[in-house]
């Protein structure tokens, strides 16, 4: 990535997150309060530091951005009003758009993808449809048979509590939903 592309990426991230990266003075309070930081390959303050230094690509490829649970603790506690959670969101958005998502975290990426696909089709999430897509695409990506059957025992339990809704719901104006998705994700007018 050359210098211009780097600075464009940084501007893009700042504009998506609506926050200023130069404000961060690397105090580490975000990392300190993050429930996942002990498991991350790069901690939240390190992700911001990487972008500050222009190493955007490396940040986009981390597992960390997909391990984030969006609990917003970092943003709530930042002494410089840097919206750290929004930066992580922005990194996810750009990473996904550029096809640079972490292989280790494929399950998380595919889950979100399946969720949105179901919403795009129906206007609301159809849980069975979403899980089906998630399982199929996840198996294709990870090639682990066990993946198909993880959590399968939950189905009969859900059924027992009358929580398994096979059919799911569809919104009436589904065409509008598809137009919204096209405008946002496909760059259509």
Partner 1 sequence: MNLGYYPGCSLHGSSDDYQQSLKACFSALGVSLKELDDWICCGATAAHSLNHKLSIALPARNLGLAAQQGCNELLAPCSMCSLQLKKAQKAIAGDPALAAEMSRIVEAKPDGARVLNLVEAFERVGLETIKTAVKTPLADFKVACYYGCLLTRPPKVAEFDDCEQPESMDKVVEALGAKAVAWNYKTECCGAGMTMASEETVLELSHKILADAAAHGAQSIAVACPMCHVNLDMKQAAIEARYGTKYGMTIYYLCDLVGLALGLTPQALGINRHFAGRKA
Partner 2 sequence: MSRIGVFVCWCGENIARTVDVDRVVEEVAKLPGVRCAQNYKYMCSDPGQSMIREKIVSEKLDGVVVASCSPHMHLKTFRKAAQTAGLNPYLLEMANIREHCSWVHPDREQATVKAIELIRMAVAKVKNNHALEPIKVPVTRRALIVGGGVAGIQAALDIADAGYEVVMVEREPSIGGKMAGLSETFPTLDCSQCILTPRMVDVGQHPRIKLYTYSEVESVEGFVGNFEITIRQKARYVDITKCTGCGECSKACPLKKNKSEFDFGMGTRPAIYMPFPQAVPARPVIDKTVCAMLTRGKCGVCAKKCAAGAINYKDEDRLVKEKVGAVVLATGFKLYSIGKQDGKVTGYGEYGYGKYKDVIDSLQFERLVSASGPTNGEIKRPSDGKTPKNVVFISCVGSRDNAKGLPYCSKICCMYTAKHTMLYKHKVHDGQAHVFYMDIRSAGKGYDEFVRRAIEQDGAKYYRGRVSKITEQDGKLIVRGADTLAGTPITVEADLVVLAAAMRPADGVTELAQKLNVGYDQFGFLMESHPKLRPVETNTAGVYICGAAQAPKDIPESVAQASAAASKVQITLAASELTREPEIAHINETTCAACFRCYQACPYHAIEKAEVRNRKGELVKRTARVNVGLCMGCGTCVSVCPSKSADIEGFTEQETYAMIESLI
- Give residues in contact with partner 1 (CB under 8 A): 16, 18, 35-36, 67, 69-73, 75-76, 83, 85, 89-90, 92-93, 96-97, 107-108, 110-113, 115-116, 119, 123-125, 127, 131, 134, 150-151, 154, 157-158, 161-165, 168-169, 171-173, 176-177, 179-181, 183-185
Nearer CB in complex with partner 2: 32/125: 32
**Residues from 141 through 160 that contact partner 2 (CB under 8 A):** none
Q: What are the C-alpha distances in Å from 47 to residues 35, 61, 156?
A: 16, 11, 41
Residue 21's nearest CA partner among 66, 77, 86 is: 86
* Measured distance CA(182)–CA(17) in Å, rounded: 22
Q: Is residue 54 within 8 Å of 2, Cβ to Cβ? A: no
Residue that is written with structure tokens 């690509």 in the block: 57
Report the residue number, 46 or 111, with the smaller CB distance to partner 1: 111
Rounded Cα distance between 156 and 12, Å, is 46
* Binding of residue 113 to partner 2 (CB under 8 A): no
Q: Which of residues 11-70 bind partner 2 (CB under 8 A)?
A: 23, 25-34, 37-38, 42-43, 45-46
Q: How many residues does the chain have?
A: 189
What angle (nearest 5°) sits at the alpha carbon of residue 106, between those of residues 104 and 108?
110
Q: Kindly tell me which of 22 and 154 has the beta carbon lying closer to partner 1.
A: 154
- Residue 150 binds which of partner 1, partner 2, none (CB < 5-8 A, kind-dependent): partner 1
Shortest spacing between CB 87 and partner 2, in angstroms: 16
């Amino acid at each position: 990535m050359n210098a211009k592309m780097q600075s464009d990426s940084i501007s893009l991230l700042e504009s998506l997150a609506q926050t200023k990266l130069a404000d961060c003075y690397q105090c580490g309070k975000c990392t300190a309060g993050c429930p996942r930081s002990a498991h991350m390959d790069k901690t939240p303050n390190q992700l911001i530091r990487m972008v500050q230094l222009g190493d955007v690509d490396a940040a986009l490829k981390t597992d960390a951005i997909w391990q984030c649970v969006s609990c917003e603790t970092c943003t709530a506690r930042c002494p410089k009003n840097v919206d750290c959670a929004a930066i992580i969101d922005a990194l996810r958005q750009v990473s996904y758009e550029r096809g640079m998502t972490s292989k280790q975290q494929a399950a998380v990426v595919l889950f979100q993808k399946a969720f949105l696909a179901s919403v795009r089709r129906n206007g609301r999430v159809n849980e069975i449809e979403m899980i089906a897509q998630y399982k199929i695409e996840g198996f294709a990506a990870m090639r682990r048979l066990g993946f198909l059957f993880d959590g399968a025992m939950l189905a009969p339990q859900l059924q027992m509590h009358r929580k398994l809704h096979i059919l799911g719901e569809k919104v009436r104006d589904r065409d509008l939903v598809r137009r919204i998705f096209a405008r946002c994700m496909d760059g259509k007018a």
